[in-house]
Amino acid sequence: MSNGTATVVGDARCVLVVGDSAAADDATEALASRFEGGSLLRERTLEGARERLAEREVHCLVCPFVPADDGERSEPRGTLLERLAAGADDRPIVAVLDSDDDRTDRADSADGTDPDHADCADRALAAGASDVVARDESPTVLTARVRNEAERARFRLAAAESDRRYRSILESAGAVVWVLD
């Protein structure tokens, strides 16, 4: 046995931040200083993000989300989040809510929540996000949510690979095999 450290290839979480906005810049900065044990990638365009997704194993995406004021689509072809989700192949996407107003008081209703914030979060989830974080949320919360989504995706991919490997062994077995669960 060696006393050296072994590193498993592909064991690190990989996160891709997509978008060309201040919210994407803030998310990248927050994750860069706190996201340990993983790779952090940045693409400013949807096309660049699609290329990265094709060439690398990405476990989680982070994308800013700004809904239209009237509830309609903010762009003719959909928001960046919607277009990204359409090609994300079930990868989790953490949406960073990027509101245009810079209010410091979010407690507009009796229960202390902002109804506009909740509506924006609902729209982000409907557009394809798996989790939502406000832009003004603490960097620690953003990092924890991204880390959790990336871990879930990594474990899901590992389980699927393990299942494929066992299925391949059973399919190519030259003898009768009984599997008991």
**What's the CATH architecture for 13-171?**
3-Layer(aba) Sandwich (3.40)
The pLDDT tens digits for 59-95 are 999 999 987 665 554 454 678 999 999 988 889 999 9
Intra-chain end-to-end CA distance of the chain, in Å: 34
Residue 47 burial (10 A CB sphere; 0-12, 13-18, 19+): exposed
Crossing angle of helices 22-34 and 139-171, rounded to 10°:
70
Buried b (16+ CB within 10 A) or exposed e, 128-143: bbbbbbbbeeebeebb
pLDDT for 94 equals 97
HSE at residue 12, side-chain half, CA atoms within 13 A, is 12
Average pLDDT over residues 33-61: 92
The predicted model scores a pTM of 0.72
Least Cα distance to 59 among 165, 158, 164, 162 occurs for 158
